[in-house]
Amino acid sequence: MKRRNFIQTLNLGIASSILLNSDLNAKTILINASQDSDLSYHRIQNIKLSNVRMQYPRLVGKNARLDIHGYGPRIDICILETDKGAMGWASLRGSIRGAQDLAKEIIGKKVSELFAVNVGISDSKFIPFDAALHDLAGVILHKPVYALLGQQKPILTKYYSGMIYFDDLEPAQNPSGIDKVLENCKQDYDFGYRQFKVKIGRGNRWMSFREGLNRDIEVTKKIAQAFPDCEILVDGNNGFAVDEFIQYMQGISGVNLFWIEEPFHETVAEYTYFREWLNKEGIKTLLADGEADADQNFIMELLDKKLIDVHLTDIEELGFTYWRKLMPRLKQMGALSSPHAWGSLLKTHYISHLAGGLGNTVTIEGVTSFSDDVDLTGYKIVKGQLVPPASPGFGMPLLKKI
């Protein structure tokens, strides 16, 4: 519905975006045609559906809206095999039942009928297999996905820990207090992060407003003091009214925020009011919104009006292919991106290739995870940046026997 309307609008601008892209010259067109020809030698022979387990290094607690997030998800995946022996896989977008129905339609098709190197999936109905087709194309062509998008070496960007939740409130019968939040920040710092996204909004559900506000302020200030070489992002999960959030900003005066994410439910009136307040106070920070189930046309309106700076819709909600199509438009608008990845390190890794190939990504959401089912070791954190591997596709060998 909302996403469909947005995609239709977006597709109208694709041809002009391509014409404006100086990289798409005659040589590039010939290379892409050759690559698509290579894809045409492979037909989808088999599709397998399964799941993989991602394990967080610690319990992830509450945010402003939701209760405990747990120790990590089990993620549905699809494996695409061709008649020439190539295999690509990725997380599945949507339901297994929907994928089973679609699988009957694509078995026997040439990979080139489903996917084009310079575009992505050829039809939006193939979106359940969007990421897997990118992985498969990379495997067939012996290229990492970021190279399919045009970069021989990936464009690198900042990388933040998205795992700083309300851990001071756990366990419920004997809350750990702020020291637990600082301990978790130290764990993430040692892992390589130099940005922390701090969840705030305790007063929306878990504490009285005043008590929650004071705790949010105290947590933010203590993290800033303890990690002066790191940047802080805050995420309110729409847990504030605009005036309440201004009280929070006044309480952390002197703390420089890299960005503010979803402080309150997005409206033109409230973001205009808040942007004017920031300008009056001389506060420089990025405003990020549009995480999931967002009205895409409205998010683009907010970006166009310069009321927000960063487009946040989830990498799988919008789809890898449509993020590829959206990025040139964002660049023309002077807007930034940082697709949402929470819950799955697989999504984080997909984003590192999107950013690596197209740039314009201000930072990447980290979801620290370990797995016995997937080899995640190709990805490295270097100087606070996530570096994807140069191996084919997304570079995550599947360890689990399907």
Give residue-wise pLDDT tens across range 285-308: 999 999 977 899 999 999 999 999
Q: Any alpha helices (H) in 153-227, and if so which ranges?
A: 178-191, 209-226
C-alpha–C-alpha distance, residues 209 and 373, integer Å: 43
12-21, 134-143, 203-212, 323-332: which range is least confident on average? 12-21
Answer yes or no: are the C-beta atoms of 179 and 222 closer than 8 Å. Answer: no
Sign of CA dihedral 111, 47, 341, 387: negative
31-35, 243-247, 395-399: which range is least confident on average? 31-35
C-alpha–C-alpha distance, residues 168 and 159, integer Å: 24
Reduced to 3 states (helix: H, G, I; strand: E, B; else coil), residue 168 is helix
C-alpha–C-alpha distance, residues 247 and 266, integer Å: 18
Structure tokens at 72: 């990590």
Please report the pLDDT score of residue 4 as a whole number: 53
Please report the pLDDT score of residue 3 as a whole number: 53
- Name which of 153, 152, 115 is nearest 135 in CA terms: 115
- Name which of 75, 76, 78, 92 is nearest 44 in CA terms: 78
Please report the pLDDT score of residue 23 as a whole number: 46
Band (pLDDT 50/70/90 cuts) for residue 35 is confident
Band (pLDDT 50/70/90 cuts) for residue 200 is very high
**Overall average pLDDT of the 24-41 stretch:** 72
Q: What is the DSSP letter of 255?
A: P
Structure tokens at 398: 């599947």
**Burial 296-332, CB ≥16 within 10 A → b, else e:** bebbbebbeeebbbbbbbbbbbbbbbbbbbbbbbbbe
- Judged against a pLDDT cut of 50, whether residue 1 lies above it is answered with no
- Judged against a pLDDT cut of 50, whether residue 16 lies above it is answered with no
- Judged against a pLDDT cut of 60, whether residue 9 lies above it is answered with no
Phi, psi values for residue 46, rounded to 5°: -150, 145
DSSP E strands in 105-216: the ranges are 115-116, 120-121, 158-164, 195-199
Please report the pLDDT score of residue 22 as a whole number: 40
Answer yes or no: are the C-beta atoms of 331 and 128 closer than 8 Å. Answer: no
- Judged against a pLDDT cut of 70, whether residue 151 lies above it is answered with yes
Contacts of residue 196, Cβ cutoff 8 Å, sequence gap at least 6: 160, 161, 164, 185, 188, 223, 227, 230, 231, 232, 233
C-alpha–C-alpha distance, residues 17 and 168, integer Å: 47
Task: Please report, for residues 90, 134, 228, 367, the alpha-carbon distance to residue 163 in angstroms, rounded to integers and kept in the order given.
Answer: 23, 28, 19, 7
Would you kindly state where each structural domain of the chain is located, as residue ranges? 27-142, 158-387
The reply to whether CATH 3.30.1600.10 applies to domain 27-142 is no
Quick one: what percent of the chain has pLDDT higher than 90? 89
Please report the pLDDT score of residue 7 as a whole number: 53
- Judged against a pLDDT cut of 50, whether residue 337 lies above it is answered with yes
Band (pLDDT 50/70/90 cuts) for residue 26 is low
The pTM of this model reads 0.93
What mean pLDDT, rounded, does the chain reach?
A: 93
Contacts of residue 209, Cβ cutoff 8 Å, sequence gap at least 6: 203, 244
Q: What angle do CA 148, 154, 156 make, to 5 degrees?
A: 140
Query: 75 versus 21: which is more confidently predicted?
Result: 75
Kindly state which CATH superfamily the domain 158-387 is placed in.
Enolase-like C-terminal domain (3.20.20.120)
Contacts of residue 337, Cβ cutoff 8 Å, sequence gap at least 6: 310, 311, 323, 326, 327, 330, 355, 360, 361, 362
User: Residue 172, Cβ neighbours under 10 Å: how many?
Assistant: 10
- Judged against a pLDDT cut of 70, whether residue 2 lies above it is answered with no
Quick one: what percent of the chain has pLDDT higher than 70? 92
Give residue-wise pLDDT tens across range 67-82: 999 999 999 999 999 9
- Judged against a pLDDT cut of 90, whether residue 27 lies above it is answered with no
Give residue-wise pLDDT tens across range 239-250: 999 999 999 999
